[in-house]
Structure 1
Amino acid sequence: MEDQASKPATIRPIVDILIAATAAAAIAAHLVLRFVARDAGAVLGVPAPEVPLLLALAGGVPLVFDLVAKLLRLEFSSDLLAGLSIATSVVLGEYLAGTLVVLMLSGGQALEAYAVRRASFALEALARRMPATAHRKRGGQVEDVSLDAVAVGDAVVVFPHETCPVDGVVVEGRSTMNESYLTGEPYLLPKAVGASALSGAVNGEGALTIRAERTAVDSRYAKIMQVMRESEQRRPRLRRLGDRLGAVYTPVAIGIALAAWLASGDASRFLAVLVIATPCPLLIAIPAAIIGSISLAARRGIVIKDPAALEMIDTCRVAIFDKTGTLTYGRPKLAEILPAPGFTRDEVLAAVAGLERYSRHPLAAAVVSEAQAAGLPIEEAEEVGERPGEGLRGLVGGRAIQVTSRAKVASLAPEAAGMLPPLAGGLECVVLIDGRYAATFRFRDEPRAEGRSFVGHLGPRHHLGRILLVSGDREGEVRYLAEKVGITEVYAGQSPEQKLALVRDETSRAGTVFMGDGINDAPALTAATVGIAFGQATDVTAEAADAVIMESSLESVDELLHIGRRMRAIALQSAVGGMALSVVGMLAAAAGLLPPVAGAIAQEVIDVLAVLNALRAAAAPRTLSDFATGPRRDAIGEHGNAAEGPRVRVG
């Protein structure tokens, strides 16, 4: 259901655009009536040139109401001066000056509004992901029912490539399921009778019948939706760059205006000072720098969802990484082969690869790829079979090969149970040759090649003092990755709720950058100061994030950090420089040298200068030395990392 609170946020940008268009049209009509057709409005009973201006000022009433509401909340933002200018211009009859201010205020807001992401989009995407109906099986017949009609104990059929609608246990069929969006595990997990299935997981190529163990409202997916909704509602309101500067600038401008009025006794000087003090460098130049940086980021394969991210990212001091798909590739790789006495690594690998060529198991491709990379001859397999729960078996080179799980070894080859190596993190399979234990294969989701240098780069170049690895994965897998990339502060086995609580706690103390790609990361992405999703992210995650890295590379994250820093520097140059010129103009207006309309025109000149400087943000730098480009290893740098092992906290 659509969040009612989101409706005003959706309508407001349209209102700003309409007000800006009305003000621009009114100014044009005023100039025509005043200088081209002076007598056209004589029959109206009011000076004709003022008619369109009065209409435009009436359209600016919502802006003034909004500013009054801010004032009542004691929020002295940069646009407060604009509201005072509009009100004062009406009282003093300076309608043209007031309309120019309406145009500047609404135009600046409209310029930024089109790029602002609304929180409800993420919840809508999350809701769209789940099916509205389920295929309930009763008495051998399958019928489509609403998701709410599924009760605990009902049999539900999940067809190939469908999303599982409820949490349950497989009672019929064989397939694989992609649960990475929910659990953080990077693998397609095999499903057979007795296996658990999570709502929101995507089924593979085989049909499954699931016995529901929870209703839809109590499912894992529904819990993530609930956490996401609470996270959106409690999202911290960031204090924007323009507001922080305006908090200092506004009292100074009002003080000069009041002093000019009291010293001269002329109320028009009060208006003249306010008009030229209208903080358009804040209202227009900063959004222009942001929009330019959004364009530059897009050309670098980075989609900015929330403009505030560019303002805030350079102020963040804590980086928080999810594991799967961010610091890793999200693809399993054969990391270790532990052969039993009497067998060699290559012998077992070649035999298993010959069998795995005929398997659709998610780990099969990793075995075949490793054998091919080692240049091993892969023999043809015969009598290949893959019975549910027993693993893969067949004949290779006249020998019986069986690939199964540790749990099945005790029943298939009891004497081998005591020969197995200790259980480690990650996925594994056990190989039996002619009924004898031959080897254990261990699989890992390997870290990105640039991971270690990137992590070492974050502190020296981007002032990120703390780097955390937070994952829903098992402790062994998380510890393995942390040691590979040089992260010393690690949280393993974290649920979406725990991730959210951790990110919220860190954000309350310092600015945070969170990077993730799964649905289970969406609440944390929302709670962080800046949330970054990777290109393979779901629509839910992409909507929850403030920025999306399309190429799924850490180098692109580095570019985003540099773009944010450069944008902030250019925005500050434009805003502070424009305000300095405005202060000069205010002093001239206070001395009676600039009447209100002339002050408005002078302010427009200042605006042009500030905006021209802000537009530099859209152009790529003369050199890209500040960005990680090409191979980008040199720009990222090869930094050393702490020698101490990771401190792991298991949730």
Structure 2
Amino acid sequence: MEHFNSDRIKVALLVVALGGLLGGLGFYFTGRPEIASIVWHIGVVPVLAALLVEILRSLSRGEVGLDIVAALSMSAALLFDETLAAAVVALMYSGGTFLESFAEGRARREMRALLERAPRTATRHGQDGLEDIPVDDIVPGDRLLIRQGDTIPVDGKVASASAFLDTSALTGESLPLRAGNGDDAMSGSTNAGEAFDVVATRLAKDSTYAGIVRLVEEAQRSKAPMARLADRWSLGFLAVTVAIAFAAWWFTGDPIRAVAVLVVATPCPLILAVPVALVAGLSRAARFGVLVKGAGPLEAMARARTLILDKTGTLTEGRPRIVKIDSHDGTDPDEVLRLAAALDQATRHPVAQAIVAAAHDRGLTLAVPTDVTESPGEGLTGQVDGRSVVVGGHDFVAGRVGQDMADYAELAAGSVLVAVAINGRLAGHLVMADPLRSGTREMVARLRRQGIEHILLATGDRHEVAERVTEGLGLDGIRAGLTPDQKVLLVLEERKRGPVMMVGDGVNDAPALAAADVGVAMGARGAAASAEAADVVLLVDRVDRLGPGIEIARGARRIAIESVVAGIGLSVLGMIAAALGYLTPIQGALLQEAIDVAVILNALRALRITPSET
């Protein structure tokens, strides 16, 4: 609401300044200069008042900005009855702040999506059967029913024989995990198998998911605000302006020359050129599937030197795929896959669905299985084309065929093994993993060329899995087994090197995205929470879009700086001319308008930035 009110005030000030200038000109050209002066006063005073309030707020925070120069020029022009010049400056200033506000937008929105994902109700076993209760009413010891697809509302212990939990949003583990009776069940995990019971061990407010929400909110509150690019030039420019204006008044005794200097010095090249270039960069980045939530994040993206990457769903596809089929008795690998997929049609387990999809991708025709028996979370048995088929976990299939399969354990390093037995004998293994996205190696090399000096992997997955997946990428480090708060600590530690960019897609990444100088979320399939917490959202499910995004950000920042340098140089020349008496205040205002047009046209070149590799 505060951002909304601020935006409305800026729009209102722009309307008042524009109306005052045009209305005054109308009276002036119809021969009523006195009324014109009054109208110009009316257009300037609200802008000046709002500007003074903003200056006082900045000074209270220990900040000195370019707004002081604009306030001095408007005040001096009004004081010495140069009201038209004051009206022109007011319009330039209000237009610049409005444009800057438009560029920034809302870099931070409330964590609405994250909170909406959290369950509001739960199903509890009561004396009279099942009952739906608010999550906040759950107390430790309550026995809850978690149906297929449900999100676990509070931390607890599995109270059924087995459960399959999708913890990808919390830990980054892309494959569902099997939990047995008495094992921990984290809130925020999703039931990927049959319904099971959980005995609550914590209140909702003390559970894992609620802790992640708090981490995100705390990270956003503690994150240092980004300084405007223009304000980094402000102190020096202010000093030069005051010195030239004072010298002009001191040596000539003519205060109007000082007014002319101040009017020419109104820092519109800084106020206008920077947001125009960055807004153009935002628009250009969006064309390449990179949504940047404001000018500040775009500038920070251009300055980033350290990149921290999540694994699951970011570097990898975030879903299991068959990477290898090992046939152990001479059976054709496609036949092993076909029979396994045919039987797996009878279950909704995510791994089984991935096997079915792989068979379809290979164009295999799947028969309808019969006599199917499923052991939830373990495997299936049944008949396919008159043959007895068993598909499931290593131990499950070994128990059904009475065969020692210890020799095949090495296949499981960093992967999930699905064993397949045909007619009582082990036929093969389907080796499943979450592979790297295509083009990842090229992307890492490109980021190095673009000036990213330090690239780390941060994942909640196991270290051996992370090492296997990223082998050959040339990363500077791997941090595995991280919790959400540990990811935040990693970001804060790496910020000692310089600006940090964090890329992730899960709920567990949201706090780190909020804490980083630039948080980048995978928006196509990533969690809504990470997209809300991030500064940048990749609209397509391709992490390689990060390269063009960074290149555009750096190009837009470079053009903004070029515009600022050129604009300030021309302004300084104009100030010298005004100090020597060659420019009146209104001529100075018009000159400054011409400078504005020039720097804005230059800033708009950011709309034509084309990444070197797309």
Residue 478 in 1 paired to residue 466 in 2?
yes
Residue 458 in 1 paired to residue 416 in 2?
no
Residue 17 in 1 paired to residue 7 in 2?
no
Q: Which moved more, 1:504-513 or 1:222-231?
A: 504-513
Alignment of 1:285-300 (within 5 A): 285-300=273-288
2:174 and 2:87 mapped to 1: Cα distance? 57
Match of 1:568 among 537, 557, 566: 557
In the TM superposition, residue 322 of structure 1 has moved relative to its aligned partner by: 0.8
Cα pair 1:426 1:474 within 8 Å, conserved: no
Residue 95 in 1 paired to residue 69 in 2?
no
1:362–1:72 CA distance, 2 compared to 1 (3 A): closer
Q: CA RMSD in A?
A: 3.0
Give the residue type in structure 2 aligned to 1:627.
Answer: S
Who is 2:590 aligned against?
601
Residue 71 in 1 paired to residue 56 in 2?
no
Alignment of 1:133-144 (within 5 A): 133-144=121-132
Who is 1:557 aligned against?
546
Deviation string 1:39-72 (CA, Å, 9 cap, x unpaired) is: 8x8xxxxx56324523541343122121133235
Who is 1:638 aligned against?
none
The SS at the match of 1:114 is: helix
Give the residue type in structure 2 aligned to 1:359.
Answer: T
Residue 246 in 1 paired to residue 234 in 2?
yes
The SS at the match of 1:164 is: coil
Give the residue type in structure 2 aligned to 1:30.
Answer: G
1:72 and 1:257 mapped to 2: Cα distance? 26
Who is 2:315 aligned against?
327
The SS at the match of 2:471 is: helix
1:101–1:201 CA distance, 2 compared to 1 (3 A): farther
Give the residue type in structure 1 aligned to 2:293.
Answer: K
Cα pair 1:153 1:211 within 8 Å, conserved: yes
Who is 1:355 aligned against?
343
Q: Which moved more, 1:85-94 or 1:303-312?
A: 85-94
In the TM superposition, residue 499 of structure 1 has moved relative to its aligned partner by: 0.9
Number of aligned residues = 612
Q: Which moved more, 1:99-108 or 1:118-127?
A: 118-127
Residue 317 in 1 paired to residue 311 in 2?
no
Alignment of 1:230-245 (within 5 A): 230-245=218-233
1:558–1:270 CA distance, 2 compared to 1 (3 A): same
Match of 2:570 among 581, 584, 587: 581
1:374 and 1:128 mapped to 2: Cα distance? 39
Residue 429 in 1 paired to residue 418 in 2?
yes
1:424–1:231 CA distance, 2 compared to 1 (3 A): same
In the TM superposition, residue 483 of structure 1 has moved relative to its aligned partner by: 0.6
In the TM superposition, residue 359 of structure 1 has moved relative to its aligned partner by: 2.6
Residue 382 in 1 paired to residue 376 in 2?
no
Match of 2:482 among 494, 517, 537: 494
In the TM superposition, residue 602 of structure 1 has moved relative to its aligned partner by: 1.4
Match of 1:29 among 14, 23, 27: 23
Give the residue type in structure 1 aligned to 2:613.
Answer: A
Cα pair 2:391 2:420 within 8 Å, conserved: yes
Give the residue type in structure 2 aligned to 1:628.
Answer: E
Deviation string 1:570-601 (CA, Å, 9 cap, x unpaired) is: 21222111111111110011112222222122
Alignment of 1:45-194 (within 5 A): 49-51=37-39, 53-54=41-42, 56-118=44-106, 121-158=109-146, 161-171=149-159, 178-188=166-176
1:427–1:83 CA distance, 2 compared to 1 (3 A): farther
Who is 1:38 aligned against?
32
1:194 and 1:155 mapped to 2: Cα distance? 13
Residue 628 in 1 paired to residue 604 in 2?
no
Give the residue type in structure 1 aligned to 2:433.
Answer: R
Give the residue type in structure 1 aligned to 2:11.
Answer: I
The SS at the match of 1:416 is: coil
2:151 and 2:572 mapped to 1: Cα distance? 61
Residue 226 in 1 paired to residue 209 in 2?
no
Give the residue type in structure 1 aligned to 2:535.
Answer: D
Cα pair 1:174 1:208 within 8 Å, conserved: yes
In the TM superposition, residue 390 of structure 1 has moved relative to its aligned partner by: 3.7
Cα pair 2:418 2:431 within 8 Å, conserved: yes
Cα pair 2:19 2:43 within 8 Å, conserved: no
2:121 and 2:355 mapped to 1: Cα distance? 39
The SS at the match of 1:329 is: coil
Residue 393 in 1 paired to residue 378 in 2?
no
Cα pair 1:578 1:606 within 8 Å, conserved: yes
Cα pair 2:103 2:275 within 8 Å, conserved: no
The SS at the match of 1:446 is: coil
In the TM superposition, residue 615 of structure 1 has moved relative to its aligned partner by: 1.6
1:397–1:218 CA distance, 2 compared to 1 (3 A): same
In the TM superposition, residue 194 of structure 1 has moved relative to its aligned partner by: 6.1
The SS at the match of 1:49 is: helix
Residue 213 in 1 paired to residue 198 in 2?
no
1:99–1:333 CA distance, 2 compared to 1 (3 A): same
Q: Which moved more, 1:113-122 or 1:470-479?
A: 113-122
In the TM superposition, residue 548 of structure 1 has moved relative to its aligned partner by: 1.3
In the TM superposition, residue 173 of structure 1 has moved relative to its aligned partner by: 10
Give the residue type in structure 2 aligned to 1:480.
Answer: R
1:385–1:409 CA distance, 2 compared to 1 (3 A): closer
Who is 1:525 aligned against?
513
Identity fraction in percent: 37
Cα pair 1:97 1:597 within 8 Å, conserved: yes
Cα pair 1:173 1:207 within 8 Å, conserved: no
Residue 282 in 1 paired to residue 276 in 2?
no
In the TM superposition, residue 205 of structure 1 has moved relative to its aligned partner by: 8.4
After TM superposition, the score normalised by the length of structure 1 is 0.86
In the TM superposition, residue 320 of structure 1 has moved relative to its aligned partner by: 1.5
The SS at the match of 2:557 is: helix
2:347 and 2:537 mapped to 1: Cα distance? 35
Give the residue type in structure 1 aligned to 2:439.
Answer: E
1:574 and 1:505 mapped to 2: Cα distance? 35
Give the residue type in structure 1 aligned to 2:513.
Answer: L
Give the residue type in structure 1 aligned to 2:294.
Answer: D
1:66–1:397 CA distance, 2 compared to 1 (3 A): same
The SS at the match of 1:77 is: coil
Cα pair 1:416 1:436 within 8 Å, conserved: no
Who is 2:498 aligned against?
510
1:488–1:506 CA distance, 2 compared to 1 (3 A): closer
